[in-house]
Amino acid sequence: MDEQYDVIVLGTGLTECILSGLLSVEGKKVLHMDRNDYYGGDSASLNLTQLYRKFRPGQEAPTDLGRDRDYAVDLIPKFIIASGELTKILVHTDVTRYLEFKQIAGSFVYRDGKISKVPSTEMEAVKSPLMGLFEKRRAKKFFEFLQGWKDDDPATHQGIDLDKDSMKTVYEKFGLEPGTQDFIGHAMALYLDDDYITKPARPTYDRIVLYTSSMARYGKSPYIYPLYGLGELPQSFARLSAIYGGTYMLDKQIDQIVTDAEGNFVGVTSGGETVKAKQVIGDPSYFGAGASSQGGKVRVVEHGRVVRAICILKHPIPNTDDSDSCQIIIPQNQVNRRNDIYVAMVSATHNVCAKDIYVAIVSTIVETDNPHHEIVPGLNLLGPIHEQFLTVTPLYTPTSDGSADNIFVTRSYDATSHFETVVEDVQDVWKRVVGSDLVLKKREVEVQE
Amino acid sequence: MSKQFQFKLVLLGESAVGKSSLVLRFVKDQFDDYRESTIGAAFLTQTVTLEDQTTVKFEIWDTAGQERYKSLAPMYYRNANCAVVLYDITSSATLEKARNWIRELQRQADPSIVIALCGNKSDLAARRQVSEEEAKKYAEEEGLMWAETSAKTGDGVNEIFTAIAKKLPLTAPPPSARAGASRPGGRTGVDLNKQTTAQPGQEACNC
């Protein structure tokens, strides 16, 4: 371990693995370590043995759920939005050659005590019980306005300035009912709360365009999902890194982050040996998250908590047309909350569990001292729950941008239903580590005939 | 019409037993004495044509060095139809490592996987530490194919890949092989590379 590296990366979560892969492709000498004996960190997918080891220490995995190896249970519930930034990175880095994707079968939204499908075709929209006849006409006008918007053509603006006018103004212009606003803001723009309404409409416009273009891409829902679970994503970027010379070490306890007298990064000590590098990138758990202090230096702070319940079901979720996978959004207004509750469900179709088993994760941002009670509206939609694993996870954010000490800490995986904020973090860390914007270059195809 | 099949083949074995060299010999008929350990490609492909004109295309995955510190990802074994596990005939320790990899494959990989145990560096027979009998006996006990090869001279290299091709189930396309699935017509999932030029905003709104 006497070699000198450009960058040491700690933790093999998706954020760290994308960065490691991109840095290796760029020609940086990367050492990537993880304290666990598996890839993925907080974004891993676990088999039954690993799942029980994590959530039920000392308890054997049950035998009535099928083969251990058939399971890849995600720890965080996220889907890939088809036209989003992660898809671009997957395609540009060619890691798609290691992965196979399936669609998520449907997206549902909760309204007045029951769930309805988010329409994916005009036919479905016409039949949808989400809006009355006249509201459908108003909504049609609203969507035609969004679709027709051209920045350089004021005739398409209908008197609206997306950068100045609030979303509230836009909703009011088209006379949309509160229920429709809920549907648009939460089930399409995927906002977790209602703060967006009073802000300029531009980001909401961008999000709706992302949603509709993703929906149009494969047809059934805006989401795709990798076979064998989300844990395949970090593994494929780790392989990209390794192919470009990155060194991988799993099952390595990190004893200390070594700094010089000024507090600048020097190296990482593991098993009594110190490896040196110019920079270090790592997830919050390697920089004092959860601990009282790290050598007196506070590098991460908690900025909220997410409650997640991983539920093993022996049936599809009721009222979803027996979908093999789906997302259900419970907008906050519907259940008197500030933050939406999400349900994300996948099944054997995605090679993440045994046949006739369904894995649903109910999650939301914690608002009270009683987080497990907060997800009850989501749990109530699932029918009988065979087994449930509950976690309350703090979300950490770094206290500094790393430019002073060459220590770059990534963010925890948030409560959003997709990976767009993960990619934002990747782009942000990249810019601080490398000193320039992340530009995705298409690599040469290297499959040789 | 002749039939075509495609299979995923993974390489395993201790560092420096000649995994990359064996592939380089098989795919490009080249050898380099001072080869660095990385290969720089996601995987290489090579086609074997059998006597009945059936063609078998191997998608060959190298470890990219991830075997060194217990860091080979489960994704590596996923849907592998066949594996070549190498040892170096001049080092008994590498046969021990090969046994570990075979146990790992039997535990993690698909039960129908075809495994070939290969004693590489047969050109260095003068420094032999692993006898043919010892390796062959072990292979028979475990139901593995076995051969000695030399990536340097090419001895036995094409022969072992052809033997693997013959042993693979050529009656039906592999049901779940990702290697096969990535070809046109065989893919069951969605293709991210398709439609990537679609312009957001131009699609009809779905509402």
Closest CA to A387 of A48, A69, A58, A107: A48
CA dihedral for A20, A22, A24, A28, sign (positive or negative): negative
pLDDT surpassing 70 at residue A295: no
Instruction: Answer yes or no: do A212 and B181 touch at CB < 8 A.
Output: no
For chains A and B, CB pairs below 8 A equal 136
Please check whether residue B195 touches A, CB under 8 A.
yes
Which chain A residues contact residue B45 at CB under 8 A? 447-449
* Contact in structure between A222 and A211 (CB atoms under 8 Å): yes
Domain assignment present for residue B196? The answer is: no
Which chain B residues contact residue A82 at CB under 8 A? 190
Q: How far off is chain A from B158, nearest CA to CA, in Å?
A: 16
- The runs of H, that is alpha helices, within A12-117 are 14-25, 48-55, 85-92
Sketch out chain A's domains with CATH numbers.
119-218 (1.10.405.10)
Half-sphere exposure of A92 (CA within 13 A, CB side): 16
Q: What pLDDT sits at residue B70? A: 82
Domain range spanning residue B147?
A: 4-181
pLDDT surpassing 50 at residue B40: yes
Interval A152-160 mean pLDDT: 95
Domain assignment present for residue B25? The answer is: yes
CA dihedral for B45, B46, B51, B52, sign (positive or negative): positive
pLDDT surpassing 50 at residue A371: yes
Q: What pLDDT sits at residue B201? A: 41
pLDDT surpassing 70 at residue A155: yes
- How many Cβ atoms from other residues are within 10 Å of residue A147's Cβ? 17
Hey, is B143 helix, strand or coil? coil
Q: How far off is chain B from A25, nearest CA to CA, in Å?
A: 10
pLDDT surpassing 50 at residue B202: no
Q: What pLDDT sits at residue B173? A: 54
Hey, is A135 helix, strand or coil? helix
As given in the structure block, the two tokens for residue A17 are 């693995």
Domain assignment present for residue B193? The answer is: no
Query: What is the per-residue DSSP string for A158-172?
Result: TT--TTTSBHHHHHH
Residues 382-411 of A with CB under 8 A from B: none
Q: What pLDDT sits at residue B167? A: 93
Q: How far off is chain A from B136, nearest CA to CA, in Å?
A: 30
Please check whether residue B65 touches A, CB under 8 A.
yes
- CATH number (domain holding residue B52): 3.40.50.300
Q: What is the pLDDT of residues A59-90, one digit of tens each?
A: 988 989 998 889 999 999 999 999 999 999 99
Give phi and psi for B39, each to the nearest 5.
Answer: -115, -20
Domain assignment present for residue B64? The answer is: yes
Question: For B206, which of A212, A244, A449 is closest by C-beta distance?
Answer: A212
Prediction ipTM score: 0.84
- In A314-349, DSSP assigns E strands to 326-330, 341-347
Interval A244-271 mean pLDDT: 94
Distance CA B15, CA B86 (A): 10
Q: What pLDDT sits at residue B179? A: 43
Distance CA A64, CA A75 (A): 21
SS3 content of chain B, % helix, strand, coil (to 5): 30, 20, 50
Of A119-128, A150-159, B65-74, the poorest mean pLDDT is in A119-128
Domain assignment present for residue B40? The answer is: yes
Residue from A135, A213, A443, A444 to probe the interface with B (highest B Cβ count within 10 Å): A213
Q: What pLDDT sits at residue B172? A: 56
Total domains, chain B:
1
Distance CA A356, CA A51 (A): 19
As given in the structure block, the two tokens for residue B175 are 């049901």
Distance CA B151, CA A125 (A): 63
Average pLDDT over chain A, rounded to an integer: 93
Interval A409-424 mean pLDDT: 95
Residue from A217, A244, A444 to probe the interface with B (highest B Cβ count within 10 Å): A217
Q: How far apart are the first and last CA of chain B?
A: 49
Q: What is the pLDDT of residues A127-151, one digit of tens each?
A: 888 888 999 999 999 999 999 999 9
Q: Which helix (H) or strand (E) holds B141?
A: helix B132-142
